[in-house]
């Protein structure tokens, strides 16, 4: 494989009353949380898919199938560490990751630095390697109507 590799990931989870809301490994107080087989961490799932995409290794669903009871309620940070291990095994390290969460409510800004720190810790990379942003979609579409949230991630890998 080449010396540098780019990857993109995208994920969506539905929101429902009374479920836990975990984004970037941060448990956020909110009346709704993600419907998911795992902990539903939409941001970390997008990042996993970006890493797998950079390596042309398929997607998170292929590696951690939601039909596997072993991944029920799984801590997505552990899945992320496993996925990054696949990159490290192949001689790659993360140059940087940039991510955006699309969500109407709650405001994510107060939690952004904790998300960055959690992700950097899971990957054992400096925190300035990891960018997390959040935006609303101006009350439009499924994120705007608070039916769900989405996340995009892009990564650049280089041979260490
Ligand atoms: Mg997901």
pLDDT of residue 104: 98
pLDDT of residue 84: 98
The mean per-residue pLDDT over the stretch 11-35 comes to: 97
Is the bond leading into 106 cis (omega within 30 degrees of zero)? yes
Q: Quote the ligand 1 centre to 41 CA distance (angstroms).
A: 7
The model's pLDDT over 120-130, given as tens digits with 9 standing for 90+, comes to 999 999 999 99
Q: Quote the ligand 1 centre to 127 CA distance (angstroms).
A: 23
Q: Quote the ligand 1 centre to 38 CA distance (angstroms).
A: 8
The C-alpha atoms of residue 88 and residue 94 are separated, in whole angstroms, by 9
Q: Quote the ligand 1 centre to 17 CA distance (angstroms).
A: 18
Q: Quote the ligand 1 centre to 84 CA distance (angstroms).
A: 17
The mean per-residue pLDDT over the stretch 150-159 comes to: 98
49 C-beta neighbours (distance < 10 Å), count: 25
Whether residue 72 is predicted with pLDDT greater than 90 in this model: the reply is no
Residues 131 and 97 sit within 8 Å (Cβ to Cβ): yes
The mean per-residue pLDDT over the stretch 97-105 comes to: 98
Q: What backbone torsions phi and psi does residue 101 show, to the nearest 5 degrees?
A: -100, 135
91 C-beta neighbours (distance < 10 Å), count: 12
pLDDT of residue 134: 98
pLDDT interval class at 83 (50, 70, 90): very high
Q: Quote the ligand 1 centre to 126 CA distance (angstroms).
A: 25
Q: How far is CA 60 from its chain centroid? A: 11
pLDDT of residue 139: 98
Q: Quote the ligand 1 centre to 86 CA distance (angstroms).
A: 19
The model's pLDDT over 31-67, given as tens digits with 9 standing for 90+, comes to 999 999 889 999 999 999 999 999 999 999 899 888 8
Q: Quote the ligand 1 centre to 25 CA distance (angstroms).
A: 13
pLDDT of residue 73: 73
The mean per-residue pLDDT over the stretch 100-113 comes to: 98
- Give the global pTM: 0.96
């Amino acid at each position: 494989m080449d010396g540098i590799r780019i990857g993109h990931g995208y994920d969506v989870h539905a929101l429902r009353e009374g479920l836990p809301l975990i984004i970037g490994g941060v448990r956020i107080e909110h009346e709704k949380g993600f419907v998911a087989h795992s902990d539903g961490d939409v941001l970390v799932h997008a990042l996993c898919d970006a890493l797998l995409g950079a390596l042309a290794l398929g997607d998170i669903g292929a590696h951690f199938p939601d039909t596997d009871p072993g991944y029920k309620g799984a801590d997505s940070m552990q899945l992320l560490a496993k996925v990054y291990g696949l990159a490290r095994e192949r001689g790659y390290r993360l140059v940087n990751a940039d991510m955006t969460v699309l969500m109407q409510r709650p405001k994510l800004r107060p939690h952004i630095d904790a998300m960055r720190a959690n992700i950097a810790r899971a990957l054992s990379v400096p925190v300035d390697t990891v960018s997390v942003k959040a935006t609303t979609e101006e009350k439009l579409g499924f994120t705007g109507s608070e039916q769900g949230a989405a996340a995009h991630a892009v990564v650049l890998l280089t041979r260490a």
